[in-house]
Amino acid sequence: MEMEEFIVEKTDSWASISKETGIEIKELMENNKDSKGKSVLAEGKSVNIPEKTNIKIFKAAAAKLGDTDYSKAVENGDFAAGKNKCNLFVADMVEKKGKVPFPEHQNTGLLGPFRAIKRAIMGGKRSIATAGELGNSDARLKNTRVVSKDKAVIGDIVSYRNDFLTRNIADSATGHTMIYTGKVKILKKGIDDGIPKGGGGTIGASTDQIRYRTFDYLENEEKRKDPVFRRAGGTPRPRPGIGADHYGPAYAFP
């Protein structure tokens, strides 16, 4: 199995790394033994994380930080210029990197069933789940399952659903969806100062580029509330909570 190297920080422990990544403590220790066969965890040193589905998704999203491929002004695949692409970004990370089929748009509403039938018969553009659907905890979306925030691991999908009555109709966005980064600090040249650690955060497609956003920013600046967390495919379950004083390891690009 491929491994990803994360850098151990002062407050890290096997339990805190397990909680952030969803990898069992036993498996982490087995993959981090020294020449004498002892499992080692030392500040400033790298720790090998088995590259499970959620780790692949997290890694791919982090690599896109600063890119403009999913900005509103550009065309990307079936998504025209002028269209929000946060769900396309998440879908690409999940499908192309995580190798998990992304759920389709539910085709709800008066014309939904007719559009679905037309697409089935005539083919055409694929319709992926919207941010609003991903942010609806009651929506049964294939290949994902809702998890609580305290059970979320890096690489999960986090989404906010816009209230139909208060959303910006001119923008037409049903919500906002991103990739969860947990409390892992991302070390990437040129963006280090923009990625604080501690409160947990996300990576997603904003209007102009792929950005990191803390939950404090999303809730206080963008006025979003009630995030819904989903797991793509069969990623491992996280360990029980161990308190709020850990941050998680740092991910440094090769």
Domain annotation covers residue 32: yes
pLDDT at 235: 39
State which of 83-87, 139-143, 230-234 shows the largest mean pLDDT. Answer: 83-87
The Cα angle at residue 182 between residues 187 and 90, in degrees rounded to 5: 90
Domain annotation covers residue 194: yes
* Containing structural domain, residue 115: 53-235
* Full-model pTM: 0.82
25 and 140 fall within a common domain? no
pLDDT at 126: 63
184 and 80 fall within a common domain? yes
32 and 88 fall within a common domain? no
Is the pLDDT confidence value at 238 over 50? no
Give me the chain's average pLDDT, please.
80
Q: Which of 61, 1, 91, 23 is nearest to 209 (CA)?
A: 61
Q: What are phi and psi of 117, to 5 degrees?
A: -65, -45
